Structure 1
Amino acid sequence: MTKQVLILGATGQIAGHAINALLKKGEDHLLLYTRHPQNLKNIDETRETVIKGDTLKMDELGAAVAKADAVYANLRNPEIKQQAENIVKAMDEHGVKQLVWISSIGVYDEVPGKFGEWNNAELGGGQKDSYLGTYRSAADVITASDLDFTIIRPAWLTNKDEVDYETTERGEAFKGTEVSRKSIGDFVAKIIDNPAPYARKDFGVNKPHTDGDKPSWM
């Protein structure tokens, strides 16, 4: 079945890979939601519709969600908890159930060993108002909802032109240190295409055999 997929934060790098994967693998129509539509290039108007909007403005967000069958949120903002609350509210109001949400490695203090210590030091693990603290608060909003959510916690991101990844579920120790943005985009497309195996689950995603004290380029 062809779906209307709302992509929030459509100009993001991971979103770009997800868009390419969705266009290549399926027949879904993509609703590209962004505050900066001028940054979107090479739009296929038969498969994509650009919507200018702000997830912090409920009227704009609600109007877009009303057109969707599924929502993929690729957001980065100090107010990400408020964005999560707005998205859950809009989806509940319009009866949309499927949400794919990009979070962050380390939000559950799930990264073991020296890499976990390094990751916490870099991202502010244990501090409420830090990067990890705000992303944890947003993830808690999503998991407390009645949506068929899938949360993705990517390892440190690379721009390598490869699709090579493995996953861990919440409660399991995170593996590896890095993963390509293209891999995350591929995983997003896979979830949207076949949501049932991933519904109400939370995944760490990494490239196999990248264990270490920090990502290879650091």
Structure 2
Amino acid sequence: MKILILGAVGQIAHMLKSELLNKTSHSTVLYARNGHKRLTLIDKSREEIFDGDFKDKDKLIDAMKDVDLVYINDMGDDKSTKTIINAMNDAGVRRVIAASVLGIYDEVPGAFGEWNKRMIGGIPRMQSQIESARLLEKSKLDYTLLRLTWLYNENRNTKYMITHKGEPFVGAQVTRQAVTQLIMDIIEEKSDKYFQTSLGVSEPNTDWAKPSFY
């Protein structure tokens, strides 16, 4: 399988690349602004770099040649999301996993929901996240949307739990390592169980009023 990682300099994207190289035979296309300056190839036979912007449709189409799956590391700009979807349609690529944030459906209840709204509910990027999710869900792509709770790093902590669209979101935090593991699990899933799904992603037993690191 050939996987295009959009936003390849991000922390989760970097972890995902490493996991793919170390644990699978898949190849990767790493796409980022100034990618050749900011990224280092470990296995040139299985990796390639594209310098590009998410709004550059022609460059995106070039990067999608022979790609089986696209991972979008950031959906905070709905104009970019629209361009990516259009490029995928033109390139004939259907499978996409996209990282978003919790709260886009006003699905976070209780004290944590109120805290989350105070922290990010009013920022412009939240509206872009909402619109990006709407665009993806309206598309004809085989998408998996990941609504990530508050992120932190902890080596070897790959525990995650999932809630589905329409269910209350539970969990105040999750490690980037756990999110990476979930993405790997979705990539390796042989069935279509994750197609056209929107998944809330958190760490078990973190049903708190705010993350532990705040």
TM-score range, shorter chain: over 0.9
Contact 2:75 2:100 in 1 (8 A): no
Equivalent residue letter for 1:56: K
Alpha-carbon separation, structure 2, partners of 1:187 and 1:42: 24
Residues 75 and 99 of structure 2 are in contact (CA less than 8 Å); yes or no, is this contact kept in structure 1? Answer: no
Residue aligning to 2:68: 69
Structure 2 residue ranges without an equivalent (≥5) = none
Return the match for 1:89 from 76, 86, 92. 86
The counterpart of 2:99, out of the listed 79, 82, 102, is 102
2-structure distance, mates of 1:44, 1:76 = 28
Residue aligning to 2:178: 183
TM-score for the superposition, normalised by structure 1: 0.92
Which 4+ residue blocks in structure 1 deviate beyond 3 angstroms? none
- Contact residue 11 and residue 36 of structure 1 kept, 8 A: no
Q: Distance in 1 between matches of 2:133 and 2:176?
A: 20
Is the Cα–Cα contact under 8 Å of residues 52 and 60 in structure 2 kept in the other structure?
yes
Measure, in 1, the Cα distance between the counterparts of 2:110 and 2:135. Answer: 28
Contact residue 61 and residue 87 of structure 2 kept, 8 A: yes
Alignment-mate amino acid for residue 111 of structure 1? V
Deviation at 1:76, TM superposition (A): 5.6
Whole-Å separation in 1 of the counterparts to 2:45 and 2:201: 32
Question: 1:42 and 1:208 mapped to 2: Cα distance?
Answer: 35
AA matched with 1:52: D
Deviation by residue 1:58-84 (Cα, 9 ceiling, x = unmatched): 11111112331110010265xx11111
| Structure 1: gaps (5+ residues) | none
Q: Under a length normalisation based on structure 2, what TM-score does the superposition of the two structures give?
A: 0.94
Q: Tell me what 1:202 maps to.
A: 198
Matched letter for residue 138 of structure 2 = A
Identity %: 36
2:165 paired residue number: 170
The two structures, once aligned, show a CA RMSD in angstroms of 1.4
Which whole-Å CA distance do the structure 2 matches of 1:183 and 1:16 have between them? 13
The alpha carbon displacement at 1:25 in A equals 2.6
Aligned residue for 1:117, secondary structure, equals: helix
Residue of structure 2 equivalent to 1:49: 48
Q: Give the CA deviation at 1:42.
A: 4.8
- 8 Å Cα contact 1:16-1:185 kept in structure 2: no
2:143 aligned to which of 131, 145, 149: 149
